[in-house]
Structure 1
Amino acid sequence: MGKHEKIQTAVLSGRSDANIAFADLLSLLGGLGFLLRVKGDHHVLTKEGVAEIINLQPIGRMVKPYQVKQVRGILTKYRLGVNDDE
């Protein structure tokens, strides 16, 4: 199991929302084809075919738990995954 797959499993499980590293989540979303735009502390990610815009802000090295929940909802809604073909 690769790094992105482990992060995806952690995000989708919902058991460790407060323990997801910010850099790891950005890496996962980048690997899924999301485009990153940074303005100050706000990291905004968009993807063609996904109506929602993901806005992430770090707390130190970690992602805010409610933002992990939002990402989980988007991954589930659009059936996005590391092993999926786009």
Structure 2
Amino acid sequence: MNANLPVAVVAAQEYAPRHVATASALMMGFTWGTAGVLFLAAGKLADVTSPTTAMTASILALLPAFWMTLKLPEPAGMKDSGVVVVT
């Protein structure tokens, strides 16, 4: 669940270029806090049902997050930076 943390921190820094430390701290804190709660929920679900069901539910829970990332607007500085963004 924490594998995408570096990418999320860089994305947050691009959205708040004048406040990179705050963006990093918020992203890391939110990610670690959310992961801790979700690990407990996935463990409880695995105890009640099966580990396969818990892993399937964990993967399916990521689909709305993936959809939301596709809907994010482009950071303000990216249009003039010369970086090619593939959509």
Name the TM-score class by shorter chain.
Answer: 0.3 to 0.5
Structure with higher Rg: it is: 2
Higher percent of residues as strand:
1
Normalised TM-score (structure 2):
0.34
Kindly indicate whether structure 1 or structure 2 has the higher relative contact order, using CA contacts under 8 Å at least 6 residues apart: 1
Normalised TM-score (structure 1):
0.34
